[in-house]
Structure 1
Amino acid sequence: MSGLYTQAKKEGVVYWSAPKPQAQMQSAIDLFTKKYPGVQVKYTNTKAPDQVSQIKLEQAAKKVTVDVGNAGGLTVVPSMKLADNVDWAKYGIASDNIFEKNMVYIWAVPKVWAYNTTKVKASEVPKTWNDLLNSRWSGGKVSIESRASFMTVWDLDSGMGGEGKALPWAKKLNALKPHYTDNTTQSEAPIESGQVDMGTSLINLVLSAQKKGAPVAVAPLSPTNANEAYLYVPKYAPHPAAAVLLTSFLSSAAAQAALSKSYNSRIPVSTDCSNAGQTPVLKAICAAGLKWYPTKSLAQYQSLSAFFPKAEKALGTSVG
């Protein structure tokens, strides 16, 4: 690691791109620059699909500007082709946190259902996916992200019945005329304002809203998925030593503790509430009684790539 730091100091800078506001990453960045003076972090908030397109074009021209990339959900499969080969175990990364050799598991933001506590009594909140098909939730009372990624668990958990049950369920949900949004962030906003009673969200959005005093809570609607995010070093990265140094640091206990304060640290990828007080995210999903599943392999991500367009079609959105 000392040799890596020496090389990283010669490079002097590391360019990190991820689909998160810099404020959520800043505490970890500050810790890194304090521990490794002489290596500056340049952070860019980039939408995941845009990052894939950017790096793909830059690699074709061999003029890459990103040192540390981010992959999650449907960007995992294309990002695997962009990632350089790094022996992460050599830099102290635990095997459980190495995905398909080239990626490092850094944080998880479980997909959840949330509800407005001023509009819905706790006793009324759906506890199963089929409970959502009750007419109580018809006529725009539910906000849903049209990309269907909230249905990920249907493809991961064999107990859900797979495509055979997921698509009919989606058609029934569409018949209730929910309020569709382009993405999950936009789906969370109407819940907070009371425009809708409940909807799809991400645990970090709900916890951030609660911290600001918004009347929202996590619905005990289960199961869901861990929604893992990974970091990787793209081929032809201009500052490869600094990239490996930053990624290794972000996997450390100190960085994870800092990231947990903005609800962006790792959690066990499968349901495990034996130590629920570890992070605010784990504490919240365990308190809601949620069961969650991991995306264990590249094959599962490839399966999701085929599943989502069919789910979108069943929802009547077909955003591709």
Structure 2
Amino acid sequence: MAGKKALSSIAGAVVSLSLLLSGCMAGSQTDKASGDKSKSNLEEKVVIYSPHGKDILQEFEKKFEAKNPNVDVEWLDIGSQEVLDRVRSEKKNPQADVWWGAPSVMFNQAKGEGLLEPYKPTYAKALEDEFHDKDWAWSGTSQTPEVIMYNSKKLSKGEAPKDWDDLLDSKWKDKIIIRYPLASGTMNTIFSAMIYRDYKDSKDPKKGYEWLQKLDANTKEYSANPEIMYSKVAKGEGTVSVWDMPDVVMLKEEKNYPFDFVIPESGTPVLTEGIALVKNAKHPKAAKAFYEFVNSKEANKILAEKHYRIPTRTDIDNLPKWIEETKIKPMDIDWKVFESKSNGWMEYWDNNIKNKEKEQKE
């Protein structure tokens, strides 16, 4: 179990999750006896679904509980697509209160399915229109450029791929390890962007599918979770991947992974990562308090300086030098097309492209 109050990331059923919530995840409230519950109108716990990883989740659990000692933060660390699927399956009996972390496309999908509770935060004026839903079903917490990641012990910056199409060169055959896209908002976006490059003019995904077939031929493995991907690239089992820039910088600087990155020359998708309240959540007051906390000025400074997140708020001063100096060429993307098409594109990839060359050889 990751984190002192973390939910286990098990597959499945709402019943199993309910047992976790009532059982292994539930800590003794006497451990927080220093808080005077009579002085707060917040509920005694708040449940977070998030792909942000145990380091961030554990830290923000502790910091929020320090400010709200009567509230027990419980969290489930899973991929953003898995969050959407779980929130969708729990619509009639929500188990989560807050969904923290996913591309805006996924939040828009959830909004369309009636899964989110609109909330306009107190910092609303510090967000440009592109960084929040027009009805405030979600608001942006960070900007996430996608990059080509490589093992810096095995490759020099000059040897690493410079652009997306370079990944198709035969010299990278069995050198690429990728996070399984259908469970990852980051990978879902990267793959969809590769299709969209031609689709935006042709309205046909064929060339995008052909590009993904060539990438598949060079891909050694689709890792079940990010930690497996990190480990295998770090060990040199593969030397190249594609991932988000903040995580690559964090892994390099904080955990001494032999990683570096290249910002693709032709442009890259830049995701807006967000936060949202789950509709009909059991702990709405604590959920709003957590929502406000994780995008407060204090939290943004922590996320930028310690966890390498690029804020969406316009009123955060004295950001780290790497944020100020990084030059990104955003890919021109119609995100509404992504919302309507990406699920179908990824389903086609899963059924018709993934590992097909390996299967044919067998």
Q: TM-score under structure 1 normalisation? A: 0.76
| Structure number with higher relative contact order (C-alpha < 8 Å, ≥ 6 residues apart) | 1
Partner secondary structure for residue 52 of structure 1: helix
**Alpha-carbon separation, structure 2, partners of 1:245 and 1:158:** 43
User: Does 2:114 correspond to 1:106?
Assistant: no
1:127 has 2:127 as partner: no
Distance 1:276 1:310 in 2: 44
Letter in 2 for 1:123: G
Deviation at 1:250, TM superposition (A): 1.6
Structure 2 stretches lacking a partner, 5+ long: 1-37, 182-186, 357-362
One-letter code of the match for 1:32? F
Taking a change above 3 Å as real, the CA distance of residues 159 and 55 of structure 1, as seen in their structure-2 partners, is closer
Rounded Cα–Cα distance in structure 2 between residues aligned with 1:263 and 1:295: 27
Matches of 1:294 and 1:108 in 2, distance apart? 15
1:257 maps to 301
Is 1:182 the counterpart of 2:182 in the alignment? no
- Work out the CA distance in 1 between the residues paired with 2:318 and 2:42: 40
Q: Contact conserved, 1:110 with 1:226, CA < 8 A, in 2?
A: yes
Deviations 1:67-111 (A, max 9, x none): 11245247435422243443405x332443322420121234433
CA distance in 2, matches of 1:21, 1:173: 27
User: Cα RMSD (Å) of the superposition?
Assistant: 3.6
How far 1:9 moved relative to its partner?
A: 2.6
Once the two structures are TM-superposed, the CA of residue 247 in structure 1 deviates from its matched residue by 0.7
Query: Which whole-Å CA distance do the structure 2 matches of 1:262 and 1:161 have between them?
Result: 41
- Distance in 2 (alpha carbons) for counterparts of 1:183 and 1:9: 41
In structure 2, the residue matched to 1:305 is 343
Maintained 8 Å contact 1:260/1:280: no
Q: Separation in 1 of the partners of 2:332 and 2:71?
A: 34
Aligned to 1:233: 277
Q: Deviation at 1:137?
A: 1.6
Contact 1:103 1:230 (8 Å CA) reproduced: yes
Q: Does 1:145 align with 2:173?
A: no
2:241 aligned to 177, 196, 199, which one? Answer: 199
Instruction: Work out the number of aligned pairs and report it.
Output: 300
Residue 121 of structure 2 corresponds to residue 79 of structure 1? no
Cα offset for 1:208? 3.4
**How many Å apart are 1:306 and its aligned residue?**
2.7
Map of 1:154 onto structure 2: 194
Separation of aligned partners in 1, 2:155 and 2:355: 27
SS at match of 1:227: strand
> CA 1:242/1:122 → structure 2, altered by over 3 Å: closer, same or farther?
same
Mapped to 2, the partners of 1:128 and 1:10 lie a distance apart of 49
Deviation, structure 1 residue 47: 3.8
8 Å contact kept, 1:105–1:231? yes
Q: CA deviation at 1:237?
A: 0.8
Instruction: Kindly provide the amino acid, as one letter, of the partner of residue 241 in structure 1.
Output: K
**Which amino acid is 1:93 matched to?**
A
1:135 CA drift (Å): 2.6
Q: Distance in 2 between matches of 1:279 and 1:37?
A: 31
Change (3 A) 1:86 1:7: farther
Which residue of structure 2 aligns with residue 278 of structure 1? 319
CA contact (8 A) 1:191 1:197 kept: yes
CA change 1:159–1:92 in 2 (3 A) is: same
CA distance in structure 2 between the partners assigned to 1:172 and 1:16 by the alignment: 38
Aligned to 2:87: 55
Matched-pair contact (CA < 8 Å) for 2:45–2:283: yes
Specify which of 95, 119, 122 is matched with residue 65 of structure 1: 95
* Range with greater deviation from structure 2 (290-299 or 32-41): 290-299
Task: Tell me how far apart the structure 2 counterparts of residues 226 and 248 of structure 1 sit (CA, whole Å).
Answer: 24
